[in-house]
Chain A
Amino acid sequence: MRRARFMTVGGVHAGLTALILVLAVSTARAEEGPRRVIAAGGSAAEIVFALEQGDRLIARDTTSSFPEAVLALPDIGYVRRLSPENLIAMEPDLILAEHDAGPPETIELLTRAEVPLVTLPEAQTPADVLAKIRVTAESLGVRQAGEDLAARTQADLDRAAAAAAALPSHPRVMFVLSMQGGRIMAAGTDTSAAAMIALAGGVNAVDGISGYKLLTDEAIIAAAPDVILAMDRGGDLALEVADLVAHPALALTPAGEAAQVVRMDGLYLLGFGPRTGEAALELNTALQAVIAAGRG
Chain B
Amino acid sequence: MVALDAGYPLGDRDAQARVAMIALSVALVLTAGLSLSHGASGVSLGSVIQSLATGEQMAARDRLILWEIRLPRMLTGVLVGASLAVAGAVMQGLFRNPLADPGLVGVGAGAGLGAVVAIVLGGLAPVWVTQAVGYHLVPVAAFLGGWVSTLLLYRVATRSGRTSVATMLLAGIALGALAGAATGVLVYIADDRQLRDLTFWGLGSLGGASWPKLLAAGPVMALALVAAPFLARGLNGLALGEAAAHHIGLPVQRVKAVAILTVAAATGAAVAVSGGIGFIGIVVPHLLRLATGPDHRFLLINAGLAGAVLLLLADLITRSIIAPAELPIGIVTATLGAPVFLWILLRRRGMVDL
Instruction: Identify which of A83, A88, A104 contacts B326 (C-beta below 8 A).
Output: A83
- Chain A 189-227 interface 0/1 with B at a Cβ cutoff of 8 Å (1 = within): 000000000000000000000011110000000000000
Nearest residue (CB) in B for A81 is B200
A285 within 8 A of B: no
Contact A4 B39 (CB under 8 A): no
Q: Which of A62, A74, A87, A103 gathers the greatest number of chain B CB atoms within 10 Å?
A: A103
Residue B267 CB within 8 A of the other chain: no
Decide if B54 is an interface residue (CB 8 Å cutoff).
Answer: no
- Give every chain A residue within 8 A of B197 (Cβ-Cβ): 80
Q: A1-B123, A109-B68, A211-B191 are in contact. Are A83 and B324 (CB under 8 A)?
A: yes
> Chain A binding site: helix, strand, loop or mixed by DSSP?
mixed
Are A112 and B68 closer than 8 Å at their CB atoms? yes
- Encode B54-70 as 1/0 by CB contact (under 8 A) with A: 00000011001100111
Q: Number of B residues whose C-beta is below 8 Å from A? A: 39
B30 interfacial contact with A, CB 8 Å: no
The answer on a CB contact under 8 Å between A214 and B191 is: no
In the bound assembly, the distance between CA atoms of A24 and B319 in angstroms comes to 33
Question: Cβ of B207 and Cβ of A81 under 8 Å apart?
Answer: yes
B97 within 8 A of A: no
By beta carbon, the residue of chain A nearest B42 is: A89
Chain A residues near B191 (CB, 8 Å)? 1, 211-212
| Interface pair A80/B193, CB less than 8 Å apart | yes
Residue B40 CB within 8 A of the other chain = yes
Q: How far is A106 from B72 in the complex, measured between Cα atoms in Å? A: 13
Does residue B180 face the partner (Cβ distance < 8 Å to A)?
Answer: no
Q: How far is the CA of A222 from the CA of B324 in the complex (A)?
A: 48
- The answer, among B122, B130, B323, B326, for a CB contact under 8 Å with A81, is B326
Bound-complex Cα distance A211 to B213 (A): 32
Kindly state whether residue B124 has any CB partner on chain A within 8 Å.
yes
Q: What are the interface flags for A81-125 relative to B under an 8 Å C-beta threshold, 1 for contact and 0 otherwise?
A: 101111111100000000010011110110011100000000000
Give the distance in Å from the alpha carbon of A109 to the alpha carbon of B319 in the complex. Answer: 17
A83 touches B319 (CB 8 A): yes
> Is A29 positioned at the interface, with any CB of B under 8 Å from its CB?
no
Is A49 part of the contact surface with B, judged by Cβ < 8 Å?
Answer: no
Interface assignment of B205: CB less than 8 Å from any CB of chain A: yes
Closest chain B residue to A1, Cβ basis: B123
- Cα(A16)–Cα(B40), bound, Å: 29
Establish whether residues A83 and B189, one from each chain, have CB atoms under 8 Å apart when the complex forms: no
Q: Are B41 and A88 in contact (CB under 8 A)?
A: yes
B353 within 8 Å of A (CB atoms): no
B322 touches A112 (CB 8 A): no
B135–A3 CB distance below 8 A: no
A96 CB to nearest chain B CB (Å): 15
The minimal Cβ–Cβ distance linking B127 to chain A, given in whole angstroms, is: 9
Determine whether B354 belongs to the interface, using a CB cutoff of 8 Å to chain A.
no
User: Complex formed: what's the CA distance from A100 to B119 in Å?
Assistant: 13
- Asked, given contacts A3-B123, A85-B41, whether A90 binds B324 with beta carbons under 8 Å apart, the answer is yes
In the complex formed, the residue of A with least CB distance to B120 is A3
Chain B residues in 8 Å Cβ range of A294 = none
Q: Which residue of A lies closest to B135 (CB)?
A: A104
B218-231 CB mask vs A (1 if < 8 Å, else 0) is: 00000000000000
Given contacts A6-B130, A113-B64, contact A83 B325 (CB under 8 A): yes
Q: How far is the CB of A82 from chain B (nearest CB, A)?
A: 8
Q: Which of A6, A78, A83, A105 contacts B200 (CB 8 A)?
A: A78
Interface size class of A (residues with CB under 8 A): 35 or more
- For chain B residues 193-242, which have a beta carbon within 8 Å of chain A? 193, 196-197, 200, 205, 207-210, 213
Query: In the docked arrangement, what's the CA distance between A77 and B321, Å?
Result: 12
Interface residues of A in 1-20 (CB under 8 A from B): 1-6
- Contact (Cβ within 8 A) B208 A106: yes
Of all chain B residues, the one with the shortest Cβ separation from A77 is B325
CB-based contact A6/B207 at 8 Å: no
Known: A80-B196, A80-B197. A86 touches B319 (CB 8 A): yes
B5: interface (CB < 8 Å): no
Question: In chain B, residues 240-282, which have Cβ atoms closer than 8 Å to a Cβ of chain A?
Answer: none
Closest to A75 in B: B325
Q: Mark B25-60, 1 if CB is under 8 A from A, else 0.
A: 000000000000001111000000000000000001
Residue of B nearest to A10 (CB): B135
Q: Could you give, for residues 123-148 of chain B, a 1 whenever the CB lies within 8 Å of some chain A CB and a 0 otherwise?
A: 11000001000110000000000000
Whether B192 sits at the interface, judged by CB under 8 Å, is yes
Q: Is A76 part of the contact surface with B, judged by Cβ < 8 Å? A: yes
Q: Give Cα A83–Cα B321 distance, bound, in whole angstroms.
A: 13
Contact (Cβ within 8 A) A6 B326: no
Q: Is A59 an interface residue (CB 8 A)?
A: yes
CB of B188 closer than 8 Å to a CB of A: yes
In the assembled complex, the CB of A2 is this many whole angstroms from the nearest CB of chain B, namely 4
CA distance in complex: A85, B192 (Å) = 27
26 example contacts (A-B, Cβ-Cβ < 8 A) are as follows A2-B124, A4-B123, A6-B123, A6-B130, A75-B322, A77-B326, A78-B200, A80-B196, A81-B326, A83-B323, A83-B325, A85-B40, A86-B323, A86-B326, A87-B324, A89-B42, A89-B324, A100-B193, A103-B207, A104-B135, A105-B135, A105-B208, A106-B207, A106-B208, A113-B64, A113-B65
Known: A76-B325, A77-B322, A103-B135. 9 other contacts (CB 8 A): A4-B123, A6-B130, A74-B324, A83-B323, A85-B39, A88-B41, A88-B64, A89-B41, A90-B324
Task: Give 3 closest A-B pairs by Cβ, nearest first.
Answer: A3-B123, A77-B325, A89-B40
Q: Which B residues fall within an 8 A CB radius of A?
A: 39-42, 60-61, 64-65, 68-70, 122-124, 130, 134-135, 188-193, 196-197, 200, 205, 207-210, 213, 319, 322-326, 328
